[in-house]
Structure 1
């Protein structure tokens, strides 16, 4: 199931996939050159697999879509933004443990689903 569980999205479909989604969305802003991003990615894959159908996870290459990074005033990578009901409800900068990320996801899902 891990193949393509985190989809790369582009600027042209960003708003539709994040703001118009019926379920909460995590977006990883990363760069291919970023070692910490590579460490975080497998953790997010596990979270995406665990919360399948309750949470969508996408990724955005900030080197390719710099305007999206500017739009959300990102100061560093990796940055993870959580969108819920069309709004950014969480901003996580840098590496975080699976436990911490899981707790953040649970916090934001608990009112919507039985997690």
Structure 2
């Protein structure tokens, strides 16, 4: 006799699992349909980039751990983009962008908590 209780709190894990499964599905269609030649780095990109984007969107919704989710969302998104665009853009440029954005998040969070 278990009792189900509804919660207004959104779980990160449920959405992340959906994004992960949808990303693998899109990758299977793209590679299986012959739209792209299989590249392991692109497969990792198909997984990490959407998960990073979802984490950033989740960070905008959650109130408590916003810097945590923003930081990890940026890390995953820029890592995925660097794997996808390593032939077009120098990876160090994306790494520099990541450092600037992470420092900005830290500074804004410091100002928000201080004042």
Tell me the TM-score normalized by structure 1.
0.28
Bigger Rg over Cα? 2
More helix by share: 2
Tell me the TM-score normalized by structure 2.
0.28
